[in-house]
Structure formats: C-alpha cells, structure tokens
Structure 1
Amino acid sequence: MSIYVGVGGWTFEPWRGPFYPAGLAHKRELEYAGQHLTGIEINGTYYGSQKPETFANWAASVPDGFKFSVKASRFTTNRKVLADGAGSIEKFLTQGLTRLGDRLGPIHWQFMATKKFDRDDFAGFLDLLPETQDGLKLRHAIEVRDESFRDPAFVDMVRERNMAIVYADSDEFPCIDEQTADFTYARLQRSQEDVETGYDAEALDHWAKRAKAWAEGDRDVYLFFISGAKVRNPAAAQALIAKLAE
C-alpha cells in the first residue's frame, strides 16, 4: 500500500515559522519538506517551463520513496480546442520533468471552470497524452471543474485510458467520485485556520480511512492538501501521515 500525502508547492512565506523552523535557508525548504511529507504537487510548472537541471535538483533534495506530481502547463489545458494542443503538450513533457526519475508521480491536468465537456474534443485531447516519456511510465490525473463532466461518457473515456479523475473535495467545484485508474488522486481543500492541524481529529480519521480504502488492491494514492487555510496545510498533511502510520 503506497499512500503519498503532501501539499501544493513548498515556497510559501507564511509556512516559515508554523512549518519551517526559524533560520532555515530558503534553498533548504524542499529538503525539509521532503523529510516531513511524502509528496508535493509542483505548481510552478503550470505557469512556466523549468530547466532539466531544476527537476534533477528537486529529485536530489528528497528521499527515496517521495513522489512529486507535476501540474501541466496552462497552455495545454486552457484552450478553446483541446485536441489542437499537441505542440503545447509536447513542449511541456519534453522540458525535462523526467529528470525527476523515480520521484515522478502523476501529471496533473487541470481545466478551468469555464471548460465544458465536449465528447469528441476531450477524447481527442486524452489521445494526445502518451503512456511513456523518455522511457518512464506516465500517469495522468484529470481535474475538471464543470458539472457537464458528470457524464458517463467522460467517466468511460478516462477509465478506458487508465487515467484518474481527480477527487476534488471543495466548496467551489464539483466532485466526481469515480475510480478510473490504478491510482487515486485527491485534492482536499477545506482546511481551517482556527484548527491547528487544519482538519480536526474526526475529519483526519475520515480521510485516513478513505485513503486506505482507495489503496486496497495495490492502488497507489496521492493526496494533497490544497487551498483552504493554506497556512495549515503542512500540519494537516503531517497529521494525516501520522494517522496512516497508526
């Protein structure tokens, strides 16, 4: 059973104190996060390309068994016609992200709330996502944010390609609770600032049980605390990791 728990990114000034110890050099924050979490969702790749050496350095900063998910470039998903995005997808996948090696987890493809389900166009987009890159197997997690995707056709086309529909626990976006791949990808977005661990004990128990249920049958689980009271997300992740270890 492999359950990876973490947060979005690792550079956030309000974490200096509540999470990062005083005096810790900024360049060592990823190393510290890697020692206390088991996964991180890289968000910077959504906004711009990175150098291959940057990915290699990130991989070297975290221990064995740690996993990064990589958020796909906005230029791949924020398009009127998704099926015309082959060039932008190739540019994103060839920037060097495979230098993460065995630390590479799923690629996270996030769509804007204004993107509605178009069966043919979406199928064309999914067909552009390769199963491997530079000899590494790729896993694809698809996050949609419009109610039109509550369509059996969408669920079927994702399942046929062994891609995961992101489980988004959010007040703002719909949650499509379907297991469509050999892994689960969940983004929890309800942390509360007045709770030291972001989520109270009852909620943490719920998510620990849910994560273990998702992991049955040797399914990997990637669970990230995102948004909400962001300052509390590292504490929430650490508390859930402790619950899972009990």
Structure 2
Amino acid sequence: MSEIRVGTSGWRYPPWRGAFYPSGLPQRRELEYLSRRTNAVEINGSFYSLQRPERYLGWHAETPDGFLFAVKGGRFITHLKQLRDVETALANFYASGVLALAGKLGPFLWQLPARLVFDPERVSTFLGQLPRTTGEAAALGAKHDDKLKSRAFLESGPDRPLRHALEVRHPSFTTNEALDLLTKHRVALVTADAAAPWPYREDQTTDFSYVRLHGAESLYTSNYSDDALRGWAAKITEWHDGGRRDVHVYFDNDSEAAAPHNAVTLTRLLGLVTQTGSTQ
C-alpha cells in the first residue's frame, strides 16, 4: 500500500518558537516535537553544506518509527556545478551520512536554479549517475575525496531502493522532450506552487509524486487557507490513486511559521496517522 507523506522543508526556524513550538521547548527537541505531528520532513541543511554522520544518526534517533526524511541535494552540485562533472561531488554527498537514516531515508530532492536551461545531454548524464539503491549509494560514496571533512558513512544495510525528484525553475524543462527524459530515468517532476515565475506542472513522470508548497501569494511566507488545503487534499488523493502511488508534500512557507500549521492541518484533512504525544 503506497503512502502519503506530509511535512515541512526544514524545522529549525526562530519564528516557529512560540508560534508553533511551545514556549520554552528546548531547541534540541524541535524535530522531536514536529515528528509527532507530521509523518515526514525535508532536510534542508544538506542543500547548503555537507552534513555529518552524527547529525543524521541523531535525527534518526529523535523521530518515531515510520517517520521519513526527504533529503535535499547539495547546491554545490545543482547551482555551482550546474550538474556538470559532479561524480566526485555526488560521492561526497552520499558519503556524508545520508545512509545513516537507514529505513527512514526517503526520496532525494534536486532543486535546479532558475538560470539553468534544459540541456538533454547534461541532464541525462546527471540523472544516470544518481544511485537507485542504498548499495549503489554506498559504492558511489566510496569514491569520495578529501573535501569530505568528516568520516565517511558507507553502511548501506539491507539494499533498499532510492528515489529522486527534480524541481525545475526554467520553463524549458516543461517540454515533452524534458518530461520524456524524466520518465525514462524514473525521476519525479516536482509540482511547485509558488508566488514566483517558476513552472507549475502536475505531470506524473514516475511511480511517486513530489509536491512543494512555497506560498501561493507571498513566496516562503503566505499561509494556505483551509479551503486551499482542502483543494490540495483532493489533488493528493487523486494522485495517490487508491493507494497505488506514494505522494510526498512539503511546505516551504517557513518564514512566518505557516508551514508547520499548514502541514498539521493537511495531515488531518487527509486522515493520516501521526504519533502525537507530549514533548513539552
């Protein structure tokens, strides 16, 4: 039975303190608090820099059984290298500790910059390098170089499949050629709702859906009304297709604490089971 996952993009934001997190809740328990009210979260810090195995191990320990982490790929790969000559950078990323999430490791998100125009050869080469199992990720990670400042974590455990989603921000990625390429490589095209001139598409290019809600009226800020969330719940239910497709939904309207409230409301509207408990 496929699942619906709803969460936020990141969890450590000062405006959430007192607005979502109870006053006085220690910062070190914020993920614990959120993970009892949603069933997934998107790790955002991995976009900005390589994290360490100890962090991934800690995040795994702080969350309940059945919780899932989507992991955002590094901007060094997507924004600085712009997908070119990235084998070593990918090796460093996969050696940095992501495999320590073990059974809580969900899909990888690769967010492209708005300036990056679709180049079929470049994109196909990149997608072909992405590991499709934890064993492949460990083998790739073994090729890391000395830019990996922490110890390499290459314990893949039982071999499990890995999934990837691509968030595009240039309209050239919405051509039939680009969509066919994503389908060929079994990579999800992210449905991105945002008050920004980014492409909005609902094309389903593989066996799971990935949605990012950035704020429809004000980027990274605006709240989704209950009516809007009911609309999203209807779309998500349709994409879920009676349990035949996994759907991942992450709220990125973080700056004024709308994201966690919206995620909790959507979780309730979809009837998802969480492990709400006292962490205060």
Q: TM-score, normalised by structure 1?
A: 0.93
- The counterpart of 1:208, out of the listed 233, 238, 241, is 233
Inter-CA distance 81–20: structure 2 relative to 1 (3 Å threshold): closer
Inter-CA distance 192–18: structure 2 relative to 1 (3 Å threshold): farther
Question: Distance between the aligned counterparts of 2:259 and 2:231, measured in 1?
Answer: 16
Inter-CA distance 88–63: structure 2 relative to 1 (3 Å threshold): same
Task: Give the aligned partner of residue 100 of structure 1.
Answer: 101
Deviation at 1:228? 6.7
| SS of residue in 2 equivalent to 1:5 | strand
Task: Give the aligned partner of residue 188 of structure 1.
Answer: 213
Task: Give the aligned partner of residue 248 of structure 2.
Answer: 222
Task: Give the aligned partner of residue 178 of structure 1.
Answer: 203
Where does structure 1 differ by over 4 angstroms across 4 or more consecutive aligned residues? none
Q: How many residues align?
A: 243
1:163-200 Cα shifts (integer Å, max 9, x gaps): 1011101121111221011111000122679xxx9322
1:160 and 2:161 equivalent?
no
Question: Distance between the aligned counterparts of 2:176 and 2:166, measured in 1?
Answer: 15
Question: Distance between the aligned counterparts of 2:42 and 2:3, measured in 1?
Answer: 16
Maintained 8 Å contact 2:194/2:217: no
Structure 2: which amino acid aligns with 1:199? Answer: Y
Maintained 8 Å contact 2:223/2:253: no
Maintained 8 Å contact 1:83/1:128: no
Task: Give the aligned partner of residue 61 of structure 2.
Answer: 60
Deviation at 1:229? 5.5
Maintained 8 Å contact 2:4/2:247: yes
1:111-169 Cα shifts (integer Å, max 9, x gaps): 10000001111111111111112333211011110011111111111111211011101
Maintained 8 Å contact 2:13/2:255: no
Q: TM-score, normalised by structure 2?
A: 0.82
Tell me how large the CA RMSD over aligned residues is: 1.8
Structure 2: which amino acid aligns with 1:7? Answer: T
1:197-229 Cα shifts (integer Å, max 9, x gaps): 932221111111111111115211110111375
